[in-house]
Amino acid sequence: MNDPGWPGAWSKGSRFAPCFSIYPIGALRRPSQRAFLPSTKPSSRLIEKTIIVIITGKMPAMRNSRFGCRRAVQDHPGTSPVKKYSQYIVTRFLAMLCGMAGLLTDGGADEAGTKRELLNLKHKIERLEKSRRAEEIVAPDRVTFSGLVEVGAWYADGPRGVDKDITLSTVELGMEAQVSPWVNAHGLLLFEEDVTEPMEVDEAIITLANTEVSPWSLAAGRMYVPFGHYESALISDPLTLEIGETRETALQFGYEGDGFLVLAWVANGETRRRGGKGIGPYGVQIGAVHGGGASGVRYSAGLSWTRNIADSNRLQEAVFDKDALTRDVPGVGGYAVVGKGPSTFVGEYVAALRPFDIADLDFGGRTAQPAAINLEFDYGRRIGGREAQFAIAWQQTREALALELPEMRLLAAVSVGIYKNTTLALEYAHEEDYETDDGGSGGRTDILTLQLALEF
């Protein structure tokens, strides 16, 4: 006879034998066996445990009773705990089903209660299945939130007199989620007083990339396409950015490896040629990056090209009719950033490769071919235990009067980290407008800007 302590004993004479014999349910051949016969009354708790083992493959805590799994583990050490417990539970479950069948066929007083327990069991199984499906959804490995708040006060003295104001220059709220080693999601909300009211979605990008495995990448969504570089330590945006920065809903393909970078993109642009349809601009950027090495000299440099510079944020507003351009105007950009120690030099040039048709954009009654250059020098050091940075720049535009940009700009700025992630900056700018022969005012404007910025 099998050991009555082993719940998997199925041979004749075991304590489970009555369920599969010709004897009525609950009847025993020997009174001494009644102590070994498991209850034949349906148990929703037992069924629930059975479903947990079958669905999740996880074994509940072992009981220390005579018929518990611990006894089974001791008697059969060569079998996995989950398998042992499963055998034990399934055996009891089958025996219980025999008892349930007897109750249902006999139409006993417990029939209504049994049906209620079965209904409760159905609901529990549904909840278990929903819980299992929820666990299969992969949560992001890391989700980070960031933000930027900039408040500025400025004073300007120019041909139109004195002007001054205090503005909430920038509010940015960002989210970054690394959903898996290959998938990243990025979102950015932007508010700029008198520019973007209410707050708008500035960026929303899904990126498929894993630089540890492959140098290739794919990004899709609303983004600033890789045309230009626009690095600066000043408060004011460089004039190169004003001409070339382009935000589009785009697809971007990339390759990055061994200090070399190639980015190609295609977008659904905002401008169209007269009668034109379909996908808008496309472009490419190539670049190189060097971290410094033994020489301590670090640099990054690149060239970029776009099929239609009229799709830049500023030129969209400057052309006469962005939905009926006479022709596309390609654009080109080049930049170099070189640094050593606390010093950094930035040089950048952005331009249209050919003039716009005069029906689309003009400059003093002539065709316009906008361009801009930025030369900047930055120097950082600690002053009184605080990080400080100094910057000076010379910037110039060509045939950009329709974009409401100055012909020349000189700037100087200093910024100090007054607290953690908190910076106070002061900038002076001197601007010269285009001459009256070109349609400008020929005037000079001096601007003083104070900005408090918090980044988190």
**Collapsed DSSP state (helix, strand, coil) of residue 225:** coil
Inter-residue contact 252 to 274 (CB < 8 Å): no
Q: Please tell me which residue, 355 or 142, carries the higher pLDDT value.
A: 355
Whether 277 shows a pLDDT value over 80: the answer reads: no
Instruction: Return the pLDDT at 86.
Output: 56
- Give the global pTM: 0.70
Least confident of 41-50, 66-75, 97-106: 66-75
Instruction: Report residue 94's pLDDT band, with 50, 70 and 90 as the boundaries.
Output: low
Extents of the domains making up the chain: 17-136, 142-170+210-455
Instruction: Return the pLDDT at 75.
Output: 46
Q: Which helix (H) or strand (E) holds 106?
A: helix 81-106
Whether 448 shows a pLDDT value over 80: the answer reads: yes
Task: Tell me the chain's radius of gyration from C-alpha atoms.
Answer: 37
Q: Please tell me which residue, 19 or 262, carries the higher pLDDT value.
A: 262
Instruction: Report residue 188's pLDDT band, with 50, 70 and 90 as the boundaries.
Output: very high
Q: Kindly report the CA angle at 290 between 300 and 174, in degrees rounded to 5?
A: 60
Distance CA 40, CA 99 (A): 4
Whether 10 shows a pLDDT value over 50: the answer reads: no
Instruction: Report residue 76's pLDDT band, with 50, 70 and 90 as the boundaries.
Output: very low
Instruction: Return the pLDDT at 254.
Output: 97
Q: What is the 3-state secondary structure (H, E, C) of the chain?
A: CCCCCCCCCCCCCCCCHHHHCCCCCCCCCCHHHHHHCCCCCCCHHHHHHHHHHHHHCCCCCCCCCCCCHHHHHHHCCCCCHHHHHHHHHHHHHHHHHHHHHHHHHHCCCCHHHHHHHHHHHHHHHHHHHHHHHHHHCCCCCEEEEEEEEEEEEEEEEECCEEEEEEEEEEEEEEEEEEEECCEEEEEEEEEECCCEEEEEEEEEEEEEECCCCCCEEEEEEEEECCCCCCCCCCCCCCHHHHHHCCEEEEEEEEEEECCEEEEEEEECCCCCECCCCCCCCEEEEEEEEECCHHHCEEEEEEEEEECCHHHCHHHHHHCCCCCCECCCCCEEEEEEEEEECCEEEEEEEEEECCCCCCCCCEECCEECCCEEEEEEEEEEEEECCEEEEEEEEEEEEECCHHHCCCCEEEEEEEEEEEECCEEEEEEEEEEECCCHHHCCCCCEEEEEEEEEEEEC
Instruction: Report residue 116's pLDDT band, with 50, 70 and 90 as the boundaries.
Output: confident
Distance CA 52, CA 125 (A): 9
In the chain, what is the greatest distance between 2 CA atoms, to the nearest angstrom? Answer: 120
Can you tell me the mean pLDDT for 140-159? 90
Cα→Cα distances 47→52, 88, 117, 289, Å: 9, 12, 10, 63
Inter-residue contact 354 to 332 (CB < 8 Å): no
Whether 114 shows a pLDDT value over 80: the answer reads: no
Instruction: Return the pLDDT at 242.
Output: 96
Instruction: Return the pLDDT at 90.
Output: 55
Instruction: Return the pLDDT at 322.
Output: 87
The amino acid occupying position 358 is I
Instruction: Return the pLDDT at 135.
Output: 52
Least confident of 49-58, 112-121, 339-348: 49-58
Q: Please tell me which residue, 38 or 396, carries the higher pLDDT value.
A: 396
Instruction: Return the pLDDT at 123.
Output: 76
Encoding tokens for residue 250? Answer: 């785009």
Whether 410 shows a pLDDT value over 90: the answer reads: yes
Instruction: Report residue 245's pLDDT band, with 50, 70 and 90 as the boundaries.
Output: very high
Can you tell me the mean pLDDT for 65-72? 43
Query: Nearest Cα to 392, choosing from 418, 425, 446, 429?
Result: 429
Instruction: Return the pLDDT at 221.
Output: 97
Domain 142-170+210-455 has CATH 3.40.50.720: no
Instruction: Report residue 59's pLDDT band, with 50, 70 and 90 as the boundaries.
Output: low
Can you tell me the mean pLDDT for 186-205? 93
Whether 341 shows a pLDDT value over 80: the answer reads: yes
Helices (H), 294-439: 313-318
Structure confidence by residue, pLDDT tens digits, 365-379: 899 999 999 999 999
- DSSP conformational letter for 415: E
Share of the chain above pLDDT 70, in %: 71
Instruction: Return the pLDDT at 229.
Output: 95
Instruction: Return the pLDDT at 142.
Output: 82
Instruction: Return the pLDDT at 19.
Output: 40
Structure confidence by residue, pLDDT tens digits, 296-330: 899 999 999 999 999 999 999 999 988 889 989 99
Instruction: Return the pLDDT at 430.
Output: 98
Encoding tokens for residue 270? Answer: 């905002």
